[in-house]
Amino acid sequence: MSVREGRKNEKGFSLIEVIVVLIIIGTISSIAYGVILLNAGTFKTLSEELSKRWELRKALRIMREDFSQIDPADIIGFSKSSKAGKRVFFKNLNGDKIFYKFDNGLLLRRQNSQKWEQLASGLEKPPFSFLNSKLNPTKNKKDIAFIKVNLVVKINSKTKSIEDTFFLRNRTRENVAMKKEKKDDDKDKEKDEDDDKDDNDHDKNDNCGHKKGKHD
């Protein structure tokens, strides 16, 4: 067999077949790449949202520990008018000064003269509202019964918010109630003692009467 005849028997790919294969491979690669990008974008979005929600919940947990034990009388100051909802300063049960402030989208906290600690970022508006016992806004420190916190952020062009309302323990009111309760208890105790004394006197009189009747 000659070399020319051997080449005639060899089979290969035509140019059209090669082009078709390349097109198919390119299409599959494009689809796969698009799916990977979509999944990566979805994962990033979910990751950012979960991270932000965790940050906000952690901030609320810290504020819950701070606010739930303070008395309105322990509030040093809070923001009003043009700075409404931006700041609140108070003393905790240990006498430490706690500072909260909203500054350029950041929620910051400081204890005494320590450095400011960032609790949350990307806030869309001031987070604090000060409410009276009827849950109405108040500008009078003595009337504050609740502090409402509303943390609003924007994640991937979607607005998300998380909020909580903290009741402030009025220890002055509690002390008055405790004193009143103690006073009522003392009155009841005195009444019981008087009743016991009357019962004893009554028993003595009965005994004396029985003895006198016997001698007669």
Say yes or no to pLDDT of 15 above 90.
Answer: no
Lowest mean pLDDT of 26-40, 42-56, 66-80, 106-120, name the range. Answer: 26-40
pLDDT for the residue numbered 194: 56
* Three-state secondary structure string covering the chain: CCHHHHHHHCCCCCHHHHHHHHHHHHHHHHHHHHHHHHHHHHHHHHHHHHHHHHHHHHHHHHHHHHHCCCCHHHEEEECCHHHCCCEEEEECCCCCEEEEEEECCEEEEEECCCCCEEEECCECCCCEEEECCCCCECCCHHHCCEEEEEEEEEECCEEEEEEEEEECCCHHHHHHHHHHHHHHHHHHHHHHHHHHHHHHHHHHHHHHHHHHHHHC
Residue 131 confidence (pLDDT) above 70:
yes
Q: Per residue in 16-47, pLDDT tens?
A: 877 888 888 888 877 877 777 666 666 576 77
Q: What's the pLDDT score for residue 101? A: 95
pLDDT band at 147 (very low <50, low <70, confident <90, very high): very high
